[in-house]
Amino acid sequence: MAATVMAAGCSAAFDPQGVADATKEEVTRVEPLSWWAGMKTPLQLMVYGEGIGSASVRAEGSGLKVKKINKAESPNYLFLDMEVGAPGSYWLVFSKDGREFKYPYEILKRENNPRESFTTADMIYLVFPDRFANGDPSNDNAGDTIQKVDREGNLERHGGDIQGIIDHLDYIKGLGATAIWATPVLLDDQDFESYHGYACCDYYHVDPRMGSNELYREFVDKSHEMGLKVIMDIVTNHCGTFHWWMKDLPFADWIHQFETYTQTNICFSTNQDPNASKYDLNVHESGWFVPMMPDMNLHNPFVLKYLQQWAIWWVEYAGLDGLRMDTFPYNEKEPISEWCKAVLAEYPWINIVGECWIESPAQLAYWQGGNPNKDGYDSHLPSIMDFPLCDAINAACCEAGDKPQWNQGMTRIYNALSHDFVYHDLSKMMIFFANHDHSRMGDNFDHNPAKMKIAMTLLATLRGIPQLYNGDEMLFSARPGEWNDGAKRIDFPGGWEGDPVNLFTAVGRAQAPELYASASEIHDYARALFRWRKGCKAVQEGKTLHFLSRKNVGPVNITDNSYSFFRYTDTDAVFVYVNNNLEPRTLDWNHYREFVSGPVTGTDVVSGEKVTLRDGLSIGPKEALIVEFKR
């Protein structure tokens, strides 16, 4: 694959003034942009420049040494294995065609600040930056980027940016969130649909329409000052067709290439199916996600190393608290396991959650690190996104109207949690009822605030790490007209100067027009739940005991649409009763005698009032009761 030569040694005395600076053509890029002393991860620099592959290289300074020079298939790349010593400013000195030229490189002092990653104690607020808030209109069309701002277009950029998130950190914290997951903010310079950030064109630079690397670090710092953790959304499976290296790949197999365009079959089961053909597996892991997203080849060791270092660089540079990995099972499973191991070796404390959009609990469990898989595979991925539970919450609230059949309605939640035995670590599962890839809940729930309150109740009290997508706390709906992802990812009213509605403020929510008539009601309900949750160990760390309600209440096979459960520790308990029926339900407290005998008095976590759990207590139609009490 790559030709390897031994590096030249350092000269005894080096005068930087005597060697010319590299021109932009001679050394166009060196990545990672910098590194740190004391890192466990070995440093491999990717150098790109015209004809640089024929150059010899040495490092000047006692704290940096070139150990190996690895040549690529393209004559315009070198991959340099480095030995890193003390922090300092160093020079990479290249010799080519009788000329020497130098390029600066920094080895920084590592801060080594211990951090806690996201856990079940957190509520993660998902922000879609381009549609959240425009904090700096001056960067709307920054640089020589292709797509410009057009708020009228569903698939165009709308101008939201990192400053917009910073400006509304108080809103996020006030809602009860303790962590922020922002969808990608790195350069996405596609000529179409670049607003979402998932077709990366430069792994080491924030999109100038979003801000800058320095502003991103400021965002993390200010979030930390407010007690908010920051999770970066990263993509290893694919880049964008407008990525700078697509015009000159280091190796032909840097990405997966076919004679004709081949799209992934999205058949995750090929990874564990003993009957699957190699052909199907290859199409799954090598096929492109969409035509604008080339599929990275993680079997190429230089690609894998590049992507490992990239994630580590951002964690160190920005002071990140966690990572969310897009399209995890689309990656080749052995290399992505090595990717996870490398990141965890550098940061044993960090949590990484992978998007594994799989409906089957058994197949989903396969992807969580430490799972006892029959084939011996270990992904080393700490956390997984609980898509089966997501589907169950949506189905429970939406399907079958108000007359659910035997396995419908709230029984869906019971059935979803009945599969908990297949998961390796329930505390490392992100739970949610929607994210940026789903329809808006206002549309799914028919603009019914009662349905949203039930979903919010489940999100706040079930096991796992809850994640809430921006705007769902006010029942956002998609733009009318064209039905695509861009229409669903609507602007947050009040995030742009001149917006007639400002839902970031209590006054704005109270005065909102009919489309957002329930915004204040649902927002305040969610805020009460998630602020309470921050101090509730029974929900954060406790076990679950749930009770099925399947008795017939009408014609044959029409069942009661309610669900009840306890979350508990040795000393504390929370009782949750969800009445998803159109009529009130009366509590039969004797039904729960295996957990508690006799009535108990606790606190209604929404109203703050004292409640005695006893026979005859009435729960209203389409309502939930959440009571916290001491055991």
pTM above 0.85, yes or no: yes
Mean pLDDT of all residues in 163-171: 98
Give dist(CA 366, CA 399) in Å, integer: 29
Residues 6+ positions from 437 with CB-CB distance below 8 Å:
485
Domain of residue 91 covers 3-108
543-555 pLDDT per residue, tens:
999 998 866 666 5
Contact of 387 with 361, CB cutoff 8 Å:
no
pLDDT at residue 550 in the model? 63
HEC profile for 44-109?
Answer: EEEEECCCHHHCEEEEECCCEEEEEEEECCCCCEEEEEEEECCCEEEEEEEEECCEEEEEEEEEEC
Contact of 233 with 216, CB cutoff 8 Å:
no
Can you give the CATH number for the domain in which 563 is found? 2.60.40.1180
Chain centroid, CA 574 distance in Å: 29
Mean pLDDT of all residues in 416-434: 98
Residue 255 counted as domain residue? no
Q: What is the mean pLDDT of the chain?
A: 95
Mean pLDDT of all residues in 72-95: 98
DSSP E strands, 221-344? 229-234, 322-325
Give dist(CA 207, CA 82) in Å, integer: 29
Using the CB atoms, write b or e for 388-421: b if 16+ within 10 Å: bbbebbbbbbbebeebbeeebbbbbbbbbbebee
**Tokens, residue 89:** 């400013």
Domain closes at, from 75, 108, 141: 108
- Based on its alpha-carbon atoms, the radius of gyration of the chain, rounded to whole angstroms, reads 27
Specify which residues 628 forms β-bridges with: 574, 603
**Tokens, residue 547:** 């009770």
Q: Of 1-15, 302-316, 318-332, 527-541, which gets the smallest average pLDDT?
A: 1-15
Most distant CA pair in the chain, distance: 93
Mean pLDDT of all residues in 488-506: 97
> Measuring CA to CA, how many Å separate 121 from each of 228, 442, 493?
12, 27, 29
pLDDT at residue 79 in the model? 98
Give dist(CA 225, CA 248) in Å, integer: 43
Mean pLDDT of all residues in 462-476: 98
Residue 467 counted as domain residue? no
Mean pLDDT of all residues in 61-90: 97
Residue 24 counted as domain residue? yes
Domain closes at, from 108, 124, 155: 108
What distance, in Å, lies between the first and last C-alpha atoms of the chain?
64
pLDDT at residue 404 in the model? 78
Can you give the CATH number for the domain in which 12 is found? 2.60.40.10
**Which 3 state secondary structure label does DSSP give 361?**
helix
**Percent of the chain clearing pLDDT 70 (strictly above):** 96
Quick check: 257 pLDDT over 90? yes
Residue 410 counted as domain residue? no
pLDDT at residue 7 in the model? 41
Phi-psi region of 269 (alpha: psi -120 to 50; beta: other; left: phi over 0): alpha
Q: Map tokens 């080594």 to a residue.
A: 112
Residue 581 counted as domain residue? yes
pLDDT at residue 443 in the model? 94
Angle (nearest 5°) at CA 550 between 549 and 555: 135
**Tokens, residue 276:** 């699957």
Quick check: 98 pLDDT over 50? yes
Give dist(CA 397, CA 441) in Å, integer: 11
pLDDT at residue 9 in the model? 40
88-96 and 3-6 as β-strands: parallel, antiparallel, unpaired?
unpaired
Residue 613 counted as domain residue? yes
Mean pLDDT of all residues in 594-619: 96
Domain closes at, from 108, 136, 167: 108
Q: Phi, psi at residue 461, to the nearest 5°?
A: -120, -15
Q: Which of 551, 544, 553 is nearest to 575 (CA)?
A: 544
Q: Domain tally for the chain?
A: 2
Catalytic residues: 326, 355
pLDDT at residue 558 in the model? 63
Residue 64 counted as domain residue? yes
Give dist(CA 104, CA 358) in Å, integer: 46
Specify which residues 59 forms β-bridges with: 92
Specify which residues 630 forms β-bridges with: 572
pLDDT band at 5 (very low <50, low <70, confident <90, very high): very low
Q: Map tokens 């295996």 to a residue.
A: 594
Question: Higher-confidence residue: 555 or 357?
Answer: 357
Kindly tell me the burial class for residue 15, based on how many C-beta atoms sit within 10 Å of its own C-beta (0-12, 13-18, 19 or more).
exposed
Residues 6+ positions from 348 with CB-CB distance below 8 Å:
none
pLDDT at residue 111 in the model? 85
Residue 152 counted as domain residue? no
